[in-house]
Amino acid sequence: MKYHNPKLTLLCLFSIFMMALGCKKQDNFLNTKPNQALSVPSTLADLQTLLNDEDVFNRYYPALGELSTDDFFIDASYWLSRGTTEKNAYVWAKQIYAANANVADWSSPYQVVYYANTILATLDKINTPASQQSQYNNVKGSALFFRAFAFYNLVQTFAMPYDSTSADKNLGVPLPLVPDLGAKLSRATESQCFNQIITDLNNASSMLPNIPARKTQPSKAAVLGLLSRIYLVMGNYTQSLKYAKDFLGLYSQLQDYNKLDPSAFPVYPNYSPEEVFHAGFQGYTTIGFSAQVDSSMYKSFNDKNDLRPDIFFYNSGGEIEFNSQFDFNNTLSCTISTNEIYFNKAECEARLNDQNSAMADLNTLLLTRWRTGTYKPLTATSPSDALIQTLKERRKDLLFTGLRWSDLRRLNKDSRFAVTLYRNINGVSYSLPPNDPRYALPIPDNELQLNPMPQNSR
């Protein structure tokens, strides 16, 4: 048996960490050149150790979109105390970042991409015996999943909403597929971005276990859930429904809210049983503990037997603040969960004129949110009515899960569901109309200086 030197693994990890840290400080993962003399991972064990780094792969995903939603509001005094990026994103300003600012919403996902690309490139050089094929598959499938997850979050933040009629022309984000930080990359089209994301996920699907050993690890169920989310964003309801069904065939656990303690903070000391994959946002304090829940949203929970208000919210000196979606790291979580997939499935069924199935799925989910013995199943008079009811409950059940921004982007294309967002700070009104160019956040200035590419129109 070949002796494995643990010092080598530590050196590998330290080397890549230092390269990543250097890139992050310069806010330019596409251009900073690494020291080629540094050691790199060379075994499956090394690569798995990299994948287990939750600080890289499971935290710090873009939150500028969530910061821009109508889930919450903050007081003027608190807004004035925030940093430039948070203040400007909150009011949808044309200029978001301070000069030479590090924009972690951009650099952190590209750090994930760099790690994933390093792992995939290293796998091509490893001679894997048959006895290690399962471990090889898991490492490769995980790297492909994380790369796809990072690209998807980047596209949802820094590109305009997907439109099938213009996706071949609309600009997406750069798609580095090899660990070459010196490469000059242009922005791919949205079509190319989504094709790459879907290709990575399809390739990962057969390599991963159905259900993960830990909720921070990729799995086939997570792949299916993400594909359902992606096709919903693309408006391909047949495909989104297919993957929702496939997901629920592997994992369909729902949380009975009667068994939760409303006084707990956070509600889940570890993970919700509905989660199949757990990740977290950038830790912007604006969407932290000082965020107050939109009053109209809070009032929409108007049934005394609906347990969600007690689970989701708490009263802090007369201010209604959000509780349950903060994870054990005290940041908002952006997960792939059973409740989202039930809503995906119900919405697609309604859009495909199967109102009975849509309402059956909606009632299956809501039954777990009501006080035992009090729930009265909802009915619909038409597919359109089923869709309206499904979207109403989706809005309420998925608060602060990172899905509101992508939902606003896609639903704004339909006049029935399009909304204008408003803020008021010290008598000054701000608004974000449907389909406004500001639904794509600007690419960081530092990136454009080192890697020239078209900036988003604001």
- Whether residue 163 sits in one domain with residue 29: yes
- Reply yes or no: is the peptide bond before residue 129 cis, omega within 30 of 0: no
Under DSSP, is residue 373 helix (H, G, I), strand (E, B) or coil?
A: coil
- Whether residue 66 sits in one domain with residue 15: yes
78 in a structural domain: yes
C-alpha Rg value of the chain to the nearest Å: 22
441 in a structural domain: yes
421 in a structural domain: no
Higher-confidence position of 458 and 244: 244
- Whether residue 103 sits in one domain with residue 50: yes
Q: What is the mean pLDDT of residues 205-220?
A: 97
- Whether residue 373 sits in one domain with residue 298: yes
Under DSSP, is residue 370 helix (H, G, I), strand (E, B) or coil?
A: strand
- CA distance linking residue 137 with residue 382, whole number of Å: 46
- By the 10 Å C-beta count (0-12 exposed, 13-18 middle, 19+ buried), 30 is classed as buried
* 331 pLDDT more than 80: no
- Whether residue 160 sits in one domain with residue 270: no
- Whether residue 170 sits in one domain with residue 22: yes
Least confident of 34-38, 232-236, 287-291: 34-38
pLDDT at 283: 85
* 50 pLDDT more than 50: yes
Q: Which of 214, 364, 228 is nearest to 279 (CA)?
A: 214
* 430 pLDDT more than 50: yes
Q: Which of 181, 155, 152 is nearest to 20 (CA)?
A: 181
Which amino acid is it at 14? F
Q: What is the mean pLDDT of residues 314-333?
A: 74
**Mean pLDDT over all residues of the chain?**
89
- CA distance linking residue 276 with residue 247, whole number of Å: 10
- Whether residue 441 sits in one domain with residue 380: no
401: which 2 tokens? Answer: 């899960």
Higher-confidence position of 101 and 331: 101
307 in a structural domain: yes
* 32 pLDDT more than 50: no
User: In which band, very low, low, confident or very high, does the pLDDT at 330 lie, cut at 50, 70 and 90?
Assistant: low
CATH assignment at residue 356: 1.25.40
**pTM of the entire structure?**
0.91
Residue 343, H or E segment: helix 338-351
Beta strands 421-425 and 292-293, pairing class: unpaired
Show the CA angle centred on residue 280, arms to residues 277 and 282, nearest 5°. Answer: 155
192 in a structural domain: yes
407 in a structural domain: no
- CA distance linking residue 242 with residue 39, whole number of Å: 44
260: which 2 tokens? Answer: 């939760």
Q: Which of 76, 144, 341 is nearest to 231 (CA)?
A: 341
Higher-confidence position of 327 and 298: 298
* 288 pLDDT more than 80: no
203 in a structural domain: no
pLDDT at 40: 67
Q: Tell me how crowded residue 90 is: count the other CB atoms within 10 A of its CB.
A: 22
- Whether residue 192 sits in one domain with residue 126: yes
Q: Write out pLDDT tens, residues 62-101.
A: 999 999 999 899 999 999 999 999 999 999 999 999 998 9
Q: Write out pLDDT tens, residues 389-404.
A: 999 999 999 998 889 9
Q: What is the mean pLDDT of residues 157-180?
A: 97
Q: Is the dihedral of CA 14, 15, 17, 21 positive or negative?
A: positive
Q: What domain count does the chain have?
A: 2
- Whether residue 348 sits in one domain with residue 441: no
283 in a structural domain: no
* 373 pLDDT more than 60: yes
Q: What residue numbers bound the domain in which 147 lies?
A: 6-198+437-450
pLDDT at 245: 98
pLDDT at 30: 52
CATH assignment at residue 445: 1.25.40.390
* 31 pLDDT more than 70: no
Q: Write out pLDDT tens, residues 98-146.
A: 998 999 999 999 999 999 999 999 999 999 999 999 999 999 999 999 9
